[in-house]
C-alpha cells in the first residue's frame, strides 16, 4: 500500500449524489491555490465519453474536471471506461483504447486486469502532480462488490487515501445514508473515511444542524460543510440518473417547462422547442447541453412520439447500440414521427448513431451482427467496421469554424443507388443533397458523426437559425456568454461554493497529510 500524501477520494452515498461536481469544484479550488492537481476516476460505466488531444477516450466528467484543474485531459485520468451495449455486455475502453467486451458474468473475474491498470494510472499521476482528486463510483457501501472493488474503498486502501462522502440531501434520507455508509464498511475501510459533505441543500441550514451534530457524535467524523443547491450548474453526466442534468434550466433566463419530459428552459411561450429522443442506449447525450444553454431554446428529453412530432426541431442523439435502438424506435412509433417531420419539411438532426439510423441501410457485423433498413431519410449506407474511429476533427459550415470529436464504428457513405435500400416509409424527403460537416443534409434532414459540434457558438447559432427558419420561426440568438465561457463560469461557481461552504482547512489537511489518526470504528450489533 502506498502511503504518500497528495490525494483525496470523493465518494457518495448514492449515484448522482454530486461526486463529480464536488470533485470538479475541489480541483478548481486547489488550482486556485497554486497546486498542480489532476482528476482521476478508476472506472466509469458510462456511454458519455470524450476524446482527449492525444486520441484517448475517457469519461466526460474527468474531461471537465481536467478543465477545472487547468490541465490537458489524458487516459490516465480515467483508465477504465465500461460502455454498456446491453443489459449484460459492456465494451471495455482501457487506457483510452478499445479492449474487447465484458459479459456481466465475467465482471468479477475480469477485475484483476482492470484494477492493475487503474492502480498503475493513479500511481503515475501521483508521481507527476502535487495532488490527485479521485472520484468514486456509486456508493462505497455496495458490499456485494467489495471483494473486487478498485474504485472506492479498494482504491483508498491501495493508495492510502482519505475519503470524504457526499450525501444528496435533496433526495431525503441523507442522515441515515451517511451513518449507514460508515456502518456497512469493515474496520480497515472505516479508517479511511474521514468526513462528510452534504450537497444540494435548500433552506435554512440551522434546521439541518442538529442532525449533522448527531452524525458527528455517532460516527466520530465531522460534516465538512453543506453545499447549497446551485441553480444552473451541471457537469457532463455519466449515468442515466443524470441525463438532462441541465433540466433546471441553464440558459440566461430559462423557464423550465412543466411535466416529466421537460428538460430545459427558454422564453416562456416563444421558446424554440427541441425534442431529443431518449434512446435506451443513448450515447454522448451531452451533445445537446449547448442547445439547452442557449437563451430562447427549450430542450426536451422524451420518448413520446407526440412531443417529437410537435417540436420545432427533433434530434436523434448518439447510441451505443444503433441497430437495437432503431428497433426500439420502431416499436414505439417514434420512427413514424421522425419520418413525418421530414416529409413535412420540419428539421430532423441525427448525431452519430442517430445519423446512422437516418441512412437507407445499416450493415452491422460488429455490434449487432445484423443488416437492417434505416429510416431512409438520407441517401447513405452505413457499414460498421471493427476498428473504432477516435479523433478530434475540425471543419466549417457556412463560414463557421467547428471543432468536434468522433467515436464510432459505423462509417456512412453516399449510397451507390440512392433509394435502393429505403425502409418501409417510402420516398426520401425532397431537397438538394449537400455536405454537412462530415455528413449530409437533404432538405430538412441533417446528419453528422461529429460530437461536440454544437459547443461551437457561431456554428450552433447559425444552424439553429436555419433549422428554425424551415419551421417558420424567426429565431435569433439573444447573445450572452458562449458555451465554453458558461462552463468556466460554472466551474468558478463550484469553486466559490467549496471555498464559502466547506471547511477548506480540513480538506487541505486531508490532501496534504493523508489519513487522520484515531478515526473510530462503528461496531453495530449485527457485526457480532
The set of catalytic residues is: 352, 451
Residues 6+ apart with CB under 8 A from 514: 3, 4, 5, 7, 160, 161, 162
Residue with cell 426500439: 328
3-state secondary structure of 306: helix
CB atoms within 10 A of CB 86: 16
DSSP secondary structure letters along 328-379: HHHHTTHHHHHHHHHHTT-EEEEETHHHHHTSSEEEETTTT-EEEE----SS
First to last CA, the chain: 28
Say which residue the cell 474496520 belongs to. Answer: 187
DSSP code per residue over 370-423: EEEE----SSEEEEEEEEEEEE--EEEETTEEEE-BEEEEEEEEE-SSTTTT--
Least Cα distance to 454 among 473, 472, 477, 434 occurs for 477
What is d(CA 111, CA 150) in angstroms, rounded to the nearest whole number? 8
Of 321, 353, 322, 390, nearest to 95 by C-alpha is 390
Q: Which long-range contacts (CB under 8 A, 24 or more apart) does 459-463 make?
A: 459/397, 459/400, 459/401, 459/402, 460/290, 460/291, 460/294, 461/294, 462/397, 462/398, 462/400, 463/397
DSSP-derived pairing of the beta strands 400-403 and 394-397: antiparallel
Amino acid at each position: 500500500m502506498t502511503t504518500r500524501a497528495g490525494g483525496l477520494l470523493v465518494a457518495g452515498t448514492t449515484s448522482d449524489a454530486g461526486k463529480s461536481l464536488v470533485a470538479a469544484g475541489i480541483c478548481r479550488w486547489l488550482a486556485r491555490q497554486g497546486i498542480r492537481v489532476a482528476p482521476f476516476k478508476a472506472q466509469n460505466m458510462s456511454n458519455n465519453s470524450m476524446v482527449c488531444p492525444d486520441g484517448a477516450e475517457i469519461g466526460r466528467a474527468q474531461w471537465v474536471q481536467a478543465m477545472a484543474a487547468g490541465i490537458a485531459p489524458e487516459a490516465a485520468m480515467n483508465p477504465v471506461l465500461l460502455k454498456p451495449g446491453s443489459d449484460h455486455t459492456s465494451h471495455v475502453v482501457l487506457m483510452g483504447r478499445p479492449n474487447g467486451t465484458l459479459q456481466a458474468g465475467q465482471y468479477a473475474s475480469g477485475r484483476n486486469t482492470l484494477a492493475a491498470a487503474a492502480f498503475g494510472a493513479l500511481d503515475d499521476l501521483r508521481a507527476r502532480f502535487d495532488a490527485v482528486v479521485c472520484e468514486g463510483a456509486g456508493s462505497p457501501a455496495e458490499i456485494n462488490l467489495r471483494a473486487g472493488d478498485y474504485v472506492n474503498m479498494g482504491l483508498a486502501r491501495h493508495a492510502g487515501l482519505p475519503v470524504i462522502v457526499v450525501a444528496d440531501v435533496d433526495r431525503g434520507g441523507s442522515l441515515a445514508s451517511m451513518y449507514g455508509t460508515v456502518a456497512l464498511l469493515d474496520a480497515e475501510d472505516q479508517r479511511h473515511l474521514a468526513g462528510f459533505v452534504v450537497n444540494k441543500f435548500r433552506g435554512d441550514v440551522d434546521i439541518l444542524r442538529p442532525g449533522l451534530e448527531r452524525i458527528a457524535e455517532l460516527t466520530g467524523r465531522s460534516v465538512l460543510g453543506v453545499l447549497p443547491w446551485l441553480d444552473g450548474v451541471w457537469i457532463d453526466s455519466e449515468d442515466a440518473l443524470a441525463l438532462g442534468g441541465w433540466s433546471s434550466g441553464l440558459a440566461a433566463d430559462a423557464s423550465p417547462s412543466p411535466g416529466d419530459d421537460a428538460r430545459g428552459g427558454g422564453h416562456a411561450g416563444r421558446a424554440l422547442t427541441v425534442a431529443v429522443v431518449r434512446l435506451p442506449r443513448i450515447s454522448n447525450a451531452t451533445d445537446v447541453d449547448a442547445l439547452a444553454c442557449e437563451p430562447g431554446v427549450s430542450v426536451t428529453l422524451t420518448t413520446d412520439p407526440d412531443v417529437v412530432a410537435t417540436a420545432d426541431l427533433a434530434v436523434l442523439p448518439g447510441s451505443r447500440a444503433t441497430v437495437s435502438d432503431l428497433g426500439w424506435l420502431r416499436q414505439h412509433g417514434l420512427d413514424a414521427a421522425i419520418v413525418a417531420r421530414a416529409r413535412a419539411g420540419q428539421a430532423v438532426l441525427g448525431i452519430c448513431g442517430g445519423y446512422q439510423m437516418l441512412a437507407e441501410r445499416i450493415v452491422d457485423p460488429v455490434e449487432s451482427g445484423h443488416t437492417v433498413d434505416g429510416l431512409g431519410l438520407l441517401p447513405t449506407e452505413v457499414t460498421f467496421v471493427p476498428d473504432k474511429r477516435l479523433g478530434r476533427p475540425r471543419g466549417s459550415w457556412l463560414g463557421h469554424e467547428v471543432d468536434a470529436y468522433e467515436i464510432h464504428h459505423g462509417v456512412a457513405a453516399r449510397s451507390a443507388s440512392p433509394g435502393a435500400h429505403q425502409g418501409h416509409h417510402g420516398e426520401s424527403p425532397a431537397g438538394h443533397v449537400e455536405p454537412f460537416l462530415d455528413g449530409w443534409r437533404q432538405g430538412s434532414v441533417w446528419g453528422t458523426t461529429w460530437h461536440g459540434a454544437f459547443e461551437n457558438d457561431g456554428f450552433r447559432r447559425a444552424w439553429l437559425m436555419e433549422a428554425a427558419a424551415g419551421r417558420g420561426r424567426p429565431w435569433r440568438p439573444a447573445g450572452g456568454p458562449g458555451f465554453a465561457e458558461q462552463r468556466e463560469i460554472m466551474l468558478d461557481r463550484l469553486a466559490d461554493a467549496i471555498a464559502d461552504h466547506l471547511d477548506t482547512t480540513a480538506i487541505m489537511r486531508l490532501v496534504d497529510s493523508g489519513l487522520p489518526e484515531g478515526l473510530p470504528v462503528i461496531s453495530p450489533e449485527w457485526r457480532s
